[in-house]
Amino acid sequence: MKRLFRIFELSKSEQRVVLIVMLALIAAALVGYERRVHQFPAQSADATESKTSPSPARTDDEP
């Protein structure tokens, strides 16, 4: 059983590599999460054009 736990005995350089890999994975997960959360839905060209409401017909009586 002790032999099985010896896989966790890492040198300083191996510990640094494991730490860097873990931090890179966490950073990638956070970036992916932020992109999904702040992603705006794509709109079609028709939806982006502003449509004006028709103005009421003017009569000659109005000043």
What is the per-residue pLDDT for 48?
Answer: 55
What is the per-residue pLDDT for 16?
Answer: 96
What is the per-residue pLDDT for 50?
Answer: 60
CB neighbour list of residue 10: distance below 8 Å, 6 or more residues apart: 18
For the stretch 1-46, pLDDT in tens is 777 878 788 999 999 999 999 999 999 999 999 999 988 776 655 5
Binning pLDDT at 50, 70 and 90, where does residue 47 land?
A: low
Are the C-beta atoms of 10 and 18 separated by less than 8 Å?
A: yes
Q: Alpha-carbon distance 29 to 27, whole Å?
A: 5
What is the per-residue pLDDT for 30?
Answer: 97
CA torsion 36→37→43→47, rounded to 10°?
170
